[in-house]
Chains A and B, each alone.
Chain A
Amino acid sequence: MANIASTTASAGTEVTARALREAVFAGLITLGLFVLFVGLKTDQNIRNELVLTQRWGLLAIFVIVAMVGRFLIVAYAQPWLAQRKAVKAAAPEVAKEESFFSRNFSKIAIVALVLYPPVILALTGVQGSLKWVDNFGIQILIYVMLAWGLNIVVGLAGLLDLGYVAFYAVGAYSYALLSSYFGLSFWVLLPVAGLLSACWGMVLGFPVLRLRGDYLAIVTLAFGEIIRLVLINWTEVTKGTFGVSGIAKATLFGIKFDASKDGFAALMGLPISSAYYKIFLFYLALGLCMLTAFVTIRMRRMPIGRAWEALREDEIACRSLGINTVTTKLTAFAMGAMFGGLAGSFFAVRQGFVSPESFVFLESAVILAIVVLGGMGSLTGIAIAAIVMIGGTEILRELTFLKLVFGPNFTPELYRMLIFGLAMVVVMVWKPRGFVGSREPTAFLRERKAVSGSFTKEGHG
C-alpha cells in the first residue's frame, strides 16, 4: 500500500515539476513574441518626433497569463482528460438502448412546435408574443424550409449551389407581382410560385449539367446575382430597388386578418391585434415545413431519391446502371428550387414588402451554412442548425446584460457576425460532418444501421 501511495505521490510531483518547466518555457516564448509588440510602443508627439513608450507592466501580465495557463493545463487539465479517457476505455461497451426522447424526437418536436404559439401567448400576453412568434418562430421556420429545400440539391444530389437565394427571390416576386397586378389570392399563387421557381431551377440546371465542383459553384453564384440584378434593373415591372409594397395578406378560408367587422378578431370575439395573424402565419410556415419534410422523406425512399444520393456518391457508376443523370440532376434542381419558391412566396406574404435587398448573396451563404452545419442530408440536423444559427443571431439582440459587462456603449448586435463565425468554426472543429454526421439508410433487410459519415461523399459538383 505504502508503495503505491509513494508512486502516486512521486508521479504527482513529477507532473508538477513538468508543469513548472513548461510554464517557464511558455513564459519565455510569450516574452519573445510580445516584447516588441506589447512591451514597446512608438508614438508620434506634437513635433512629429517618435516617442518610445515602455509598457513593461502590460507585458508582465501577458507573460504571467501564459505561464499560469500553461501550468494549469499541464498540471490539472491534461491528467484529468487522460483519466477520463481511461475510464471511458475501461467501461464495457454497453449496447446503448435509445432513450424515449431520441427515438421519438421528430414527433416530440412537432408537438412542441404546434404548442409553441399558445404557450408563448399564455406566458407573454398578446402583444409580447409578437416578437417570439414572429422573430423567432416564423423566421426560423422560413430558414428551416429553405435549408431543407437546398438540402435536396446539396445534401442529397451533391450539387453545390451558391445561388439558392435566386429561387427564394423568384418565389417572393412571383407572389408579390402576380397578386398586385392580377389580384390573385395567396392560396392560388403559392403553388404557382413553386412551379415558377421549379422552372427556373431547370433553367439553371441545363447549362450547368456538365459542370462540377468549383465551376458549378461559381456558375450558380452568378445565376443568383443575375436574378437579383434583373430585379433591380427591370424597374417597369419590379419597381427596382424601391421594391413591391402593399402585398395582399393571406386569408384563412376567406377570413381576413384585419380590423374590419368580418375580420378574424371580430368573428372570434378577440381583441384586435396583429398577433393573431402572426400566429396564423406561424402555423402556415409549420405546415409548409412539414410538407417539405414529408416530400423529402418520401422521395429519399423512392428510386429518384436513391438516384440523387447515388449521383453524389459516383456519377459514372450511376450511368453504368442505366440512370439518366441529366433528368436526375434536373429534378434535383427543380425540387430544391420549388421549395425555395414556396418559402419565398411565404416570405412575401409575411413581410408584405419585397425588395432585392432581401436576396443578397449572404442569404445563400447562410442557407448553405445551415445545411453544412446540420450535416448534409439530415433533416433533423438541419432543423437544429437553423435554430442555432438564426435563433442564435436573433437572441444576441436580446442579450442586454452584456451592456452591464462591457459598458453602456456596447451593442451586441454589431458582434453578431463575429460570434456567428466563431460558433461555426467551433462546431466544425467539434463535429466536422455537422450535427448529424451519419446517414440514415433508405431501406434495410434486417436492421436499420446508420451509415457513418466517413463513408458518404460530399459530391463533386
Chain B
Amino acid sequence: MAIETMTTTMTKDPILKVEHLSMRFGGLMAINDFSFEASRGDITALIGPNGAGKTTVFNCITGFYKPTMGMITMKQRSGKEYLLERLPDFEITKHAKVARTFQNIRMFSGMTVLENLLVAQHNKLMQASGYTVLGLLGFPAYRQAAKDAKELARHWLEKASLIDRADDAAGDLPYGAQRRLEIARAMCTEPELLCLDEPAAGLNPRESHALNELLQSIRAETGTSILLIEHDMSVVMEISDHVVVLEYGQKISDGNPDFVKNDPRVIAAYLGVEDKEVEEVIEQIEEIEGGQGGTKQ
C-alpha cells in the first residue's frame, strides 16, 4: 500500500512490528489487516474514533487476546526477538519485556502504593527468594533483593510524585494519582516497551501536562519506547514522534503528528463529512497520494 511507504521511521530500528494483524469476534472484524511499526526510543501514538479497535490491538500485543491472524514481533535491545502472538500474557511481560496499563484503572486497591510496586517486581524477587524456599529459611540474598526492590519502588514513586502517599492504600488515592501509580507500577517491571491505554483519560489539563513530562522523562532516562492510545490530542501532538490512526479496524493514516493532523482521511474520520463531500475528499486523498508517489520516484 502507498501509505506504508510514507512512514518516515522505516529506517530506524523497530522495537515492535505488527504485521497483517486481524482479530475477529464472531461476525465482527474488530481489526482487519493492520500493520505498523514502532521504533525504538519513540513515543508512538495509536489514535482513532471510539470503537476503532485500538484497545483490541493493545490486547493482542499484550497477549490478552490471541489474534485471528497476523504476526507481532518484539525485538529487544539485545537483539532477541519474540513473537508475541505465541506467548501467554504473563510471559509477554516477564520475558519479552512489554508492560501495559489499562483504560479502566486496575490497581491492587487494598494494598499500599509501595506494595503495588513490589508486586510488579514479582519475578525478580521470586528468583532472589529461591522460589520462596530460601526466603522462607531467611537467606540473606532475599533480604538484599527486597531492599533493592524497595529502592527501585522509591525511585519510581519519586518520579510519579507519589512518594508522600507510599504507605497509603492504593484505593485511597485520587484518580490522577492512581493513573500515575499504574504507570509507575508498569515501569517497575523494567520494560523495554511500555503500552499505555488512555493514560490521560479523566485528567485535568495540569495533570495531563505533568503526565507528558513523566512520559518524556521515562523515555529520556530509561530509553523505554512507549506505545500509547490517547484521545487527548494535546498529549498526542505534543509528545508523540509517530502517530498511527485506526478506523473501523483499519489503518487510515501513519506518520509524524503534523502529517496526520492534516491528513484529510483523518479529518474525515474524526469530524465526519457530508455525503456530497465524500467524493471531494477522495479526490483530495488521491491527489496527495499521487503527489507522494511522484516524489518517491
Asked whether A and B interact, the reply is yes
Instruction: Name A residues whose Cβ lies closer than 8 Å to a Cβ of B.
Output: 295, 298-299, 302-304, 306-307, 309-310, 312-314, 316-325, 331, 439, 441-449, 451-452, 454-457
Asked if B169 and A322 sit within 8 Å, CB to CB, the answer is: no
Asked if B123 and A322 sit within 8 Å, CB to CB, the answer is: yes
Asked if A320 and B102 sit within 8 Å, CB to CB, the answer is: yes
Asked if A309 and B91 sit within 8 Å, CB to CB, the answer is: no
Asked if B118 and A322 sit within 8 Å, CB to CB, the answer is: no
Asked if A303 and B122 sit within 8 Å, CB to CB, the answer is: yes
Query: How far is the CB of A304 from the nearest CB of chain B, in Å?
Result: 5
Binds A, one of B45-53, B74-82, B103-111: B103-111
Q: With A304-B126, A317-B106, A321-B185 as known contacts, state yes or no: A443 contacts B150, CB within 8 Å.
A: yes
Query: How far is the CB of B108 from the nearest CB of chain A, in Å?
Result: 4
Smallest CB-CB separation from A444: which chain B residue? B167
Smallest CB-CB separation from A302: which chain B residue? B135
Q: With A320-B93, A321-B122, A456-B110 as known contacts, state yes or no: A295 contacts B167, CB within 8 Å.
A: no
In whole angstroms, how far apart are the Cα atoms of A454 and B172 in the complex?
10
In whole angstroms, how far apart are the Cα atoms of A298 and B150 in the complex?
17
Asked if A302 and B115 sit within 8 Å, CB to CB, the answer is: no
Smallest CB-CB separation from A447: which chain B residue? B167
Q: With A299-B132, A314-B107 as known contacts, state yes or no: A306 contacts B122, CB within 8 Å.
A: yes
Given contacts A313-B108, A443-B112, 16 further A-B contacts (CB under 8 A): A302-B132, A303-B119, A303-B132, A306-B119, A313-B110, A319-B93, A320-B101, A441-B111, A443-B118, A443-B146, A445-B114, A445-B154, A445-B157, A446-B166, A446-B167, A455-B110
Asked if A309 and B129 sit within 8 Å, CB to CB, the answer is: no
Contact with A along B81-125 (1 / 0, CB 8 A): 000000001111110000111100011111110110011111101
Query: How far is the CB of B297 from the nearest CB of chain A, in Å?
Result: 45
* Residue in A298, A317, A318 with the greatest tally of chain B CB atoms within 10 Å: A317
B205 at the interface (CB under 8 A from A): no
**A444 CB contact (under 8 Å) in B112, B129, B189:** B112
In whole angstroms, how far apart are the Cα atoms of A454 and B110 in the complex?
8
Question: Which residues of B sit under 8 angstroms from A312, Cβ to Cβ?
Answer: 110
B256 at the interface (CB under 8 A from A): no
In whole angstroms, how far apart are the Cα atoms of A321 and B189 in the complex?
7
In whole angstroms, how far apart are the Cα atoms of A318 and B107 in the complex?
9
Asked if B91 and A442 sit within 8 Å, CB to CB, the answer is: no
Question: Which residues of B sit under 8 angstroms from A323, Cβ to Cβ?
Answer: 90, 119, 122-123
Asked if A306 and B169 sit within 8 Å, CB to CB, the answer is: no
In whole angstroms, how far apart are the Cα atoms of A439 and B109 in the complex?
12
Asked if B115 and A445 sit within 8 Å, CB to CB, the answer is: no
In whole angstroms, how far apart are the Cα atoms of A303 and B188 in the complex?
14
Question: Which residues of A sit under 8 angstroms from B154, Cβ to Cβ?
Answer: 445
Asked if A321 and B120 sit within 8 Å, CB to CB, the answer is: yes
Question: Which residues of B sit under 8 angstroms from A447, Cβ to Cβ?
Answer: 167
Question: Which residues of B sit under 8 angstroms from A445, Cβ to Cβ?
Answer: 114, 150, 154, 157, 163, 166-167
In the assembled complex, 11 residue pairs joining A and B whose CB atoms fall closer than 8 Å, in A order, are A312-B110, A314-B108, A319-B89, A320-B101, A323-B123, A443-B118, A445-B154, A445-B157, A449-B112, A451-B112, A455-B109
B142 at the interface (CB under 8 A from A): yes
Question: Which residues of A sit under 8 angstroms from B100, Cβ to Cβ?
Answer: 320
Smallest CB-CB separation from B163: which chain A residue? A445
In whole angstroms, how far apart are the Cα atoms of A445 and B111 in the complex?
14
Contact with A along B236-248 (1 / 0, CB 8 A): 0000000000000
* Residue in B112, B125, B172, B189 with the greatest tally of chain A CB atoms within 10 Å: B112
Question: Which residues of A sit under 8 angstroms from B232, Cβ to Cβ?
Answer: none
Query: How far is the CB of B69 from the nearest CB of chain A, in Å?
Result: 23
B171 at the interface (CB under 8 A from A): yes
In whole angstroms, how far apart are the Cα atoms of A444 and B169 in the complex?
11
Question: Which residues of A sit under 8 angstroms from B157, Cβ to Cβ?
Answer: 445
Asked if A322 and B91 sit within 8 Å, CB to CB, the answer is: yes
Asked if A313 and B111 sit within 8 Å, CB to CB, the answer is: yes
Asked if A310 and B111 sit within 8 Å, CB to CB, the answer is: yes
In whole angstroms, how far apart are the Cα atoms of A310 and B125 in the complex?
15
In whole angstroms, how far apart are the Cα atoms of A319 and B64 in the complex?
9
Query: How far is the CB of B37 from the nearest CB of chain A, in Å?
Result: 23
Question: Which residues of A sit under 8 angstroms from B170, Cβ to Cβ?
Answer: 455
Asked if B129 and A303 sit within 8 Å, CB to CB, the answer is: yes
In whole angstroms, how far apart are the Cα atoms of A442 and B100 in the complex?
25
Asked if A317 and B122 sit within 8 Å, CB to CB, the answer is: no
Asked if A307 and B122 sit within 8 Å, CB to CB, the answer is: yes
B19 at the interface (CB under 8 A from A): no
Question: Which residues of B sit under 8 angstroms from A317, Cβ to Cβ?
Answer: 102, 106-108
Query: How far is the CB of B1 from the nearest CB of chain A, in Å?
Result: 32
Asked if A322 and B112 sit within 8 Å, CB to CB, the answer is: no
Asked if B167 and A324 sit within 8 Å, CB to CB, the answer is: no
In whole angstroms, how far apart are the Cα atoms of A331 and B119 in the complex?
16
Question: Which residues of A sit under 8 angstroms from B132, Cβ to Cβ?
Answer: 299, 302-304, 331
Smallest CB-CB separation from B113: which chain A residue? A445
Question: Which residues of B sit under 8 angstroms from A448, Cβ to Cβ?
Answer: 167
In whole angstroms, how far apart are the Cα atoms of A362 and B293 in the complex?
78
Asked if B129 and A302 sit within 8 Å, CB to CB, the answer is: yes
Smallest CB-CB separation from B138: which chain A residue? A298
Question: Which residues of B sit under 8 angstroms from A456, Cβ to Cβ?
Answer: 109-110
Question: Which residues of A sit under 8 angstroms from B123, Cβ to Cβ?
Answer: 322-323
Question: Which residues of A sit under 8 angstroms from B94, Cβ to Cβ?
Answer: 322, 324
**A302 CB contact (under 8 Å) in B108, B125, B150, B167:** B125
In whole angstroms, how far apart are the Cα atoms of A394 and B122 in the complex?
44
In whole angstroms, how far apart are the Cα atoms of A319 and B122 in the complex?
11
Query: How far is the CB of A247 from the nearest CB of chain B, in Å?
Result: 31
Question: Which residues of A sit under 8 angstroms from B126, Cβ to Cβ?
Answer: 303-304
Query: How far is the CB of B19 from the nearest CB of chain A, in Å?
Result: 23
B28 at the interface (CB under 8 A from A): no
Q: With A302-B135, A455-B171 as known contacts, state yes or no: A441 contacts B115, CB within 8 Å.
A: yes
* Residue in A320, A439, A445 with the greatest tally of chain B CB atoms within 10 Å: A320
Query: How far is the CB of A293 from the nearest CB of chain B, in Å?
Result: 13
